Amino acid sequence: MILEKMSERNFENIHFRFDEKTGLRSIIAIHSTKGGPALGGCRFYPYPDEATGLNDVMNLAHAMSYKAALAGLPLGGGKSIIFGDAKTSKTQEKLEAFAEFVESLGGRYITSVDSGTSPEDLNVFLTKTKHVTGMTVDHGGSGDPSPTTALGTFVGIQAAAEIAFGSSDISGKTITIQGVGNVGKILGKHLIEAGAKLIIADYDAAKAAEFKDQFPEVAVVDHTKIVATPADIFAPCAMGGVINTDTINTLQCEVVAGAANNPLASMDIANALHAKGIVYAPDFAINAGGLIHVADELEGFDPARVEKNTRRIFDTIKNILTRANNENVSPAKIARDMAREAIPA
């Protein structure tokens, strides 16, 4: 079953670890090391069951290969997950056990931050493995990549607006954001500064309230309503699979462009979005800022270079969407084809 899933998508390795002492349950999925070591963050999340976690980590790792290739980085694609609620079950010992797991792979996989992990957690990883990037500045790292992801997503939204509305100026546009976490809250700030009207929702009501405190002009809706809330642009910045067979017909927007990894449940959904005339900015192209950020650290972090490379996401999204229009196929397929062309044989 697992080998079959791997062969369908050309996965090199899937590694599992259970650690009796700490209760660590973790998976590292390495999709490809053809372009270089597989770099991708570690997600700490309370998956309802193993199959859901495995599916998520494989989707995420696969997208990392595409993301690295499309961003022109000398890296492959991988990702890891730790099962559990980061708020209640994260312990230093568990993080150390995970880092030993990473170390055991000898550098084929380089870990970093994702939902449920922080640059401070990476500092802990660093005590057990050198195959980690994105630590805090005082630990030789470049800090949280989320602001860079947010910047890349912001310029990607401007590019998508140019294709959908004929101008990259988003002032006056209504934009819904699902999830005002590390990325969503900074993306929201950029969008407000650019004159957009925001409607936000977060599963964690405290995070939505905190954002509203900072920007009182923002409207807040219940997290179960955000996908179906009318807007010019919907920016998913939470978890994957939010646009699926149940939700696609509830969408009331012209553009879907956000930071979330794998927001579309399948390629069929990508095709259905295209058929509905909704412009979709592919996740692994628009949210590459974080990877550009942490990958730069491996070469000696240069903030100006990171910003320049991240702003190139505008052109990447514009090229994908232009080609999708010209060829009348979904942007998700075009982005996948472009990434596959860029991955070394």
**Of residues 195, 166, 154, 74, the one with CA closest to residue 314:** 154
Structure tokens at 253: 């927007």
Q: Which residue is nearest to ligand NAD (CB)?
A: 181
CA pair distance 299, 212, nearest whole angstrom: 38
Residue whose structure tokens are 């805090």: 136
| Binder among 124, 160, 237, 306 for ligand NAD (CB under 6 A) | 237
Instruction: Confirm or reject binding of residue 65 to ligand NAD (CB under 6 A).
Output: no
Binding residues for ligand NAD restricted to 270-289, rule: CB under 6 A: 287
Helix (H) / strand (E) containing 200: strand 197-201
| Binder among 192, 194, 239, 342 for ligand NAD (CB under 6 A) | 239
Give the SS3 label for residue 15.
Answer: strand
Instruction: Confirm or reject binding of residue 169 to ligand NAD (CB under 6 A).
Output: no
Instruction: Confirm or reject binding of residue 96 to ligand NAD (CB under 6 A).
Output: no
Q: Decide: 329 and 274 in contact? Cβ < 8 Å.
A: yes
Instruction: Confirm or reject binding of residue 202 to ligand NAD (CB under 6 A).
Output: yes
Around 193, how many Cα atoms within 13 Å sit in the side-chain half-sphere? 10
By beta-carbon proximity to ligand NAD, the closer residue of 14 and 226 is: 226
Instruction: Confirm or reject binding of residue 184 to ligand NAD (CB under 6 A).
Output: yes
Q: Decide: 132 and 107 in contact? Cβ < 8 Å.
A: no
| Binder among 34, 223, 312, 323 for ligand NAD (CB under 6 A) | 223
| Binder among 59, 115, 176, 229 for ligand NAD (CB under 6 A) | 115
Helices then strands, each counted (H, E), the chain:
14, 11
Which spans of this chain sit near ligand NAD (rule: CB under 6 A)? 114-115, 145-146, 149, 178-184, 201-204, 207, 223, 237-239, 259-261, 287, 290
